[in-house]
Structure 1
Amino acid sequence: MANQLSQHLLKARVASGELDSWISKEGGFQTFSVNSAHNLVRKDFEANSSPIFCKLWRCKAVPSAVLIAWRLMENKLATRVNLSRRGVLVDSLMCSLCGKEEETCTHLFFDCSFARQVWCLCYRWLGVLVVPHFETKNNFDQFRMSPASETVNSVWNTIWVEVVSEIWNHRNNIISKEE
């Protein structure tokens, strides 16, 4: 590939006396800006991304909370089970919040008695009755009001992300106090 690029560049002719300019895939000649490059990359990213992740990345939550939610959806959080799977020695695989089951992402955020209480309080505060889904992406997608506007659903997505972040932060505070 590098060889092909080199050959292509050697064949290119530069006309003296002409102004050099950028050519965009999108719309011909235009002035380059970081914003135009960002928009082009974002369009390409969104075209190749899952709708769930597009909703997540558009969320108005604190960036660190969105990152935690994304890592949860990808099962990449450093739960005790995930750390053990990566070869990290952990004192126990049991949940830091309830101590009753292994600390997986699904258990920690949706099946743990502490997490269920948090979600129950959240649903009650929002005035919603639901049977929550235990698969992370489906739970996120379920946490919205179907007939509501995109603005309202964006707020609900933000609430979901912040609740997930607070459960994770609470878990980490408990672990840091144990050490």
Structure 2
Amino acid sequence: MFTVDSIKRKLQRIRLPVPDYKFSWNNWVPKKVSIVAWRAEKNRLPTMDVLARRSIYCISDLCAFCGEVEESCEHTFVSCPFVRSLWQVIGQWCKVQAIYAFSFWDLLGLHDSINGSKNKRKAFRSIPLTTIWCVWRRRNDVVFNRALVSLAKALKKQRP
């Protein structure tokens, strides 16, 4: 017999994998920058896949940058070819090893791979957070203002 209680008990037994990463706030960046990264980490940004799950109609569910894959946080910030190129250039600017991320949590944990003092790692942590924010702003500009996808423009806005 079906009861709400029986479903609740079954759902409580399901163990989903939880990443080891816990979001830590960085007071070296504006709150709005940290909030976008935090929302992305929680999959709470209004990407096309999230909007579709909420039954919100969109003309296209494809990535605003590459137009090849359904837009999701993971794709927008990690696996999109446009953004992968951006991460490589940022790695060169920072004079660190090439940045290869396989998940969003890899991006948020990049500072752990940096040698140096605690302050140096904290400063480096602000770079992925700021980049995530810039990518999200650029994505919104492409979606809502029909701006052209341009790596040069994205880099110009990112670099101090």
Task: Tell me which interval the TM-score lies in, with the shorter structure as reference length.
Answer: 0.7 to 0.9
Question: Which residue type is aligned with residue 94 of structure 1?
Answer: L
Return structure 1 stretches of 4+ with deviation > 2 angstroms: 142-147
Larger Rg: 1
CA-CA distance at 1:128 after TM superposition: 1.5
**CA separation in 1, counterparts of 2:30 and 2:93?**
21
**Percent of residue pairs bearing the same amino acid type:** 25
**Residue from 94, 108, 118 that aligns with 1:150:** 118
Q: CA deviation at 1:137?
A: 1.6
- Please give the residue correspondences for 1:68-79 in structure 2 after superposition, counting only pairs within 5 Å: 68-79=36-47
* Residues 32-47 of structure 1 aligned to structure 2 (within 5 Å): none
Report the residue type matching 1:125 in the other structure.
Answer: W
For the pair 1:52 / 2:22, whether they are aligned, the reply is: yes
Show the 5 A alignment for 1:1-179. Answer: 52-54=22-24, 57-130=25-98, 132-178=100-146
Secondary structure of 1:175's counterpart equals helix
| Equivalent residues of 1:95, 1:103 under 8 A apart | yes
Task: Tell me the equivalent position of 2:9.
Answer: none
Per-residue deviation, 1:150:
1.1
Query: Where does the alignment leave 5 or more consecutive residues of structure 2 unmatched?
Result: 1-19, 148-160
Q: CA RMSD in A?
A: 1.9
Q: Secondary structure at the match of 2:109?
A: helix
Deviation, 1:60, is 1.1
**TM-superposed deviation, 1:149:** 1.1
Q: Which runs of no fewer than 5 residues in structure 1 stay unpaired?
A: 1-49
Distance 2:116 2:22 in 1: 17
Cα pair distance change 1:149/1:52, threshold 3 Å: farther
Q: TM-score, normalised by structure 2?
A: 0.73
Measured after TM superposition, the shift of residue 145 of structure 1 is 4.0
Structure 1 residue 135 displacement after superposition:
1.5
Aligned length: 128
- CA distance in structure 2 between the partners assigned to 1:63 and 1:144 by the alignment: 21
Cα shift at 1:124: 0.7
Superposition TM-score, scaled by structure 1 size: 0.66
